[in-house]
Chain A
Amino acid sequence: MAEDASGTDGLQVTVEFTGGLEMLFSNRRKHQITLPVRDENDAAANIAYLVRYLCQNVMRDHRKELFVLDDTVRPGILVLINDGDWELEGGEEYEIQPNDNILFVSTLHGG
């Protein structure tokens, strides 16, 4: 893994949370994460893996259901890859690249 293109033992990614999601992540909006290059099944790390990784390693709040539902990001959360809707990039199958910026936005409803 050390020879990976990222030049480190993992993928350096910036993960951000807004719309109240930051409250589930120690009240921090921006997290610099070193994600393993390959997932549990030795496949390239994708968004689905990142979400599992965040649940297991970064999220300290016990209310997982406010982030993940039915093994995917819960309804009402948009996943944005480098300022683009993840639907434009292949959804949770998108393979994470070094220095990607992944933003999780919870929709707001107040007005």
Chain B
Amino acid sequence: MASNNPLDSTIEALRSQISACEAQLQALKLQLAEAEARANSTGPSLLSTQYDQDMTNGVPNAWQTDSLSVLGQTNNESNPPSQALDQSPQKWPLTNDEYKRYGRQLIMPEIGLRGQLRLRAASILIIGVGGLGCPAAAYLAGAGVGKIGLVDGDIVEVSNLHRQILHSTATLGMLKVDSAVSYLKALNPGVEYVAYRERLTPESAIETFQSYDLVLDCTDTPASRYLISDACVLLGKPLVSASALRTEGQLMVLNQPARPPGDASGGPCYRCVFPKPPPAASVVSCGEGGILGPVVGVMGVLQALEAIKLVAGRTGTESVEPNGGQESQTNPDPPSLLLFSAYGSPQFRSIRLRSRKPKCAACSTHATVTPEALASGSLDYVQFCGFIGPVDALLPSERLTAYELAADLANTDMHEATARRVGTARPVIVDVREKVQFDLCSLQGSTNVPFSEISTGGESEEWLAKLRSVSPEQPILVVCRLGNDSQVAVKKMKEAGLHGDGKRWVGDLRGGLRAWRENVDPEFPDY
């Protein structure tokens, strides 16, 4: 039992401030180094540190290229090479730094000069700077996309770091967009970064999307996915959408080609594929279900790849034109859904998807989603997708607080007030987290009955047999991570008759093991 010293939080706050400043300083130093390197390489000085490596045939490479190009220009044939060197460095479509930096992709026919110029002229909006957005942004910045917008209102938490590769221990507590921009500037200062430091809302979506050619959905809720798709349809922006959970990922390129609503030749939107949102109870977040870093990383990298393909263009396919419009298409890729399963065989599977739905609420002639409805806030996406608040299924008399449990465990006798409710016998503590979580940490003497076994209600009902073997006088205290599943488990146990018609107390720990950690044992692991 630790005391809550007010100095502790001050120290903690100062530490995180120092970390944030150090991160910014680090980013600035990297930018300075980058700028200095560029200053050195653009000058025609022979004292360049790269002198030795870059020389072939007794002449620096830069000289050779410049000279040969000048010789190739008919109207400049009379100019001696030495004069050409002193001329403006802007005689090439890309800067020398760009030729070097993007050289490995420039020499590929899929990109080439044309593709690189298109990348440079392109603007891409990334919504969500988490497990998907981080790798996507890194690769797009690395590839030389002209402008990258980042939208996120969250701050960096330590549990993000195993997968959100733009953030670091030093940027804990910073806004994710700021943490990301500092990393990206160090990676490629030649890109324009725009930070939107708040969650996307229906009111702000249209204005935010307007100045971008392409949108990446890197968010983690159904509500944001519908909102982003709707805004993309209304503005005619293609959308690269991905998601991941546990060991699996999914990827779709939507609204591509991005034709106006009602044009059946456009690509399907998110609503075409999922006209109705899933029941809120079926939606599992990474915090609840878990996520393997490389799994979500793969999906984010694939988003960057699809974005590059769309922007840089390929022969024979439709691509996104910078500043709106689309190139006349010959043969766009048919809509598809890519499934990734890290432990599956095969790991990748591509599924042919439907085209636009004739009655789609967003992209058909029957569309009810309009710019006015979006901007006015009359479309309530959270309502549309539903939400589940904390479970509140038990009576106060069926619940113990962490303090009460601590008092009971500390004394040989039950605390009097608690004993009146629960009984004098020491309760058996039933932990209903899944086994893998129970193995991480558990209350001393507790026994594990995974919630999945209870809710499945399988034929074997082993868990019931296990609890029936407990002495009938002994109260049953159910604990879980947050105090939601425990309530449902108590209900199930009572339905199964474990409370012996009221002879035995069956209840839960209010607030679960989180409350135990916050109120009783700060050493109890927080995962």
Interface residues of A (CB under 8 A from B): 18-20, 23, 29, 60-63, 65-66, 69, 74-78, 80, 83-85, 87-88, 103, 105-111
Looking across the interface, which residue of chain B has its beta carbon closest to that of A67?
B282
Decide: B286 and A110 in contact? CB cutoff 8 A.
yes
Residues of chain B contacted by A74 (CB below 8 angstroms)? 278-279, 282
The answer to whether A18 and B341 touch (CB under 8 A), given A76-B277, A107-B274, A111-B133, is yes
| Docked complex Cα distance between A111 and B277 (Å) | 17
Decide: A106 and B282 in contact? CB cutoff 8 A.
yes
Decide: A75 and B337 in contact? CB cutoff 8 A.
no
Decide: A78 and B248 in contact? CB cutoff 8 A.
no
Decide: A109 and B245 in contact? CB cutoff 8 A.
yes
The answer to whether A76 and B274 touch (CB under 8 A), given A84-B352, A111-B296, is yes
Residues of chain A contacted by B130 (CB below 8 angstroms)? 111
Interface residues of B (CB under 8 A from A): 128, 130-133, 217-222, 225, 242-246, 248-250, 273-279, 281-286, 289, 291, 296, 299, 337, 339, 341, 344, 349-354, 357, 452, 455-459
Q: How far is the CB of A20 from chain B (nearest CB, A)?
A: 6
Decide: B281 and A66 in contact? CB cutoff 8 A.
yes
17 A-B residue pairings within 8 Å (CB atoms): A18-B339, A20-B245, A61-B456, A62-B455, A75-B279, A76-B276, A76-B277, A76-B279, A80-B351, A83-B351, A105-B250, A107-B274, A108-B250, A109-B220, A109-B222, A109-B225, A110-B220
Looking across the interface, which residue of chain A has its beta carbon closest to that of B127?
A111
Q: How far is the CB of A102 from chain B (nearest CB, A)?
A: 12
Decide: B452 and A78 in contact? CB cutoff 8 A.
no
Q: How far is the CB of A57 from chain B (nearest CB, A)?
A: 13
Q: How far is the CB of A60 from chain B (nearest CB, A)?
A: 5
| Docked complex Cα distance between A84 and B275 (Å) | 18
Residues of chain B contacted by A111 (CB below 8 angstroms)? 128, 130-133, 217-220, 242-244, 286, 296, 299
| Interchain CB contact (< 8 A) of A108 among B244, B275, B354, B357 | B244
Looking across the interface, which residue of chain A has its beta carbon closest to that of B225?
A109
Residues of chain B contacted by A103 (CB below 8 angstroms)? 351
Q: How far is the CB of B152 from chain A (nearest CB, A)?
A: 11
| Interchain CB contact (< 8 A) of A19 among B218, B250, B286 | B250
Could you say which of A65, A74, A76 has the most chain B C-beta atoms within 10 Å of its C-beta?
A76
| Docked complex Cα distance between A109 and B386 (Å) | 14
Residues of chain A contacted by B351 (CB below 8 angstroms)? 78, 80, 83-85, 103, 105
Q: How far is the CB of A76 from chain B (nearest CB, A)?
A: 3
Looking across the interface, which residue of chain B has its beta carbon closest to that of A23?
B452
Residues of chain A contacted by B456 (CB below 8 angstroms)? 60-63
Decide: A110 and B455 in contact? CB cutoff 8 A.
no
| Docked complex Cα distance between A75 and B271 (Å) | 11
| Docked complex Cα distance between A60 and B44 (Å) | 75
Residues of chain B contacted by A87 (CB below 8 angstroms)? 354, 357
The answer to whether A110 and B279 touch (CB under 8 A), given A18-B344, A87-B354, is no
| Docked complex Cα distance between A38 and B344 (Å) | 32
Q: How far is the CB of B205 from chain A (nearest CB, A)?
A: 17
Residues of chain B contacted by A84 (CB below 8 angstroms)? 351-352
| Docked complex Cα distance between A18 and B221 (Å) | 19
Residues of chain B contacted by A107 (CB below 8 angstroms)? 243, 250, 274, 278
The answer to whether A29 and B353 touch (CB under 8 A), given A105-B339, A106-B282, is no
| Docked complex Cα distance between A4 and B291 (Å) | 46
| Interchain CB contact (< 8 A) of A83 among B128, B279, B350 | B350
Residues of chain A contacted by B285 (CB below 8 angstroms)? 109-110
Could you say which of A20, A29, A87, A107 has the most chain B C-beta atoms within 10 Å of its C-beta?
A107
| Docked complex Cα distance between A9 and B128 (Å) | 52
Decide: B278 and A83 in contact? CB cutoff 8 A.
no
Residues of chain B contacted by A65 (CB below 8 angstroms)? 279, 281
| Docked complex Cα distance between A1 and B405 (Å) | 63
Could you say which of B277, B339, B344 has the most chain A C-beta atoms within 10 Å of its C-beta?
B339
Residues of chain B contacted by A29 (CB below 8 angstroms)? 344
Looking across the interface, which residue of chain B has its beta carbon closest to that of A105?
B339
Q: A107-B250, A107-B278 are in contact. List 16 more A-B contacts (CB 8 A).
A: A63-B456, A65-B281, A66-B282, A75-B277, A76-B222, A76-B277, A76-B283, A85-B353, A105-B351, A108-B250, A109-B221, A109-B245, A109-B285, A110-B291, A111-B217, A111-B243
Residues of chain A contacted by B278 (CB below 8 angstroms)? 74-77, 106-107
Residues of chain A contacted by B353 (CB below 8 angstroms)? 85
Q: How far is the CB of A106 from chain B (nearest CB, A)?
A: 7
| Docked complex Cα distance between A43 and B278 (Å) | 30
Decide: A110 and B289 in contact? CB cutoff 8 A.
yes
Q: How far is the CB of A77 from chain B (nearest CB, A)?
A: 8
Residues of chain B contacted by A66 (CB below 8 angstroms)? 279, 281-282
3 tightest A-B CB contacts, nearest first: A76-B278, A75-B276, A87-B354
Q: How far is the CB of B84 from chain A (nearest CB, A)?
A: 51
Q: How far is the CB of B438 from chain A (nearest CB, A)?
A: 17
Residues of chain B contacted by A75 (CB below 8 angstroms)? 274-279
Q: How far is the CB of B294 from chain A (nearest CB, A)?
A: 14
Residues of chain B contacted by A60 (CB below 8 angstroms)? 456, 458-459
Q: How far is the CB of B267 from chain A (nearest CB, A)?
A: 13
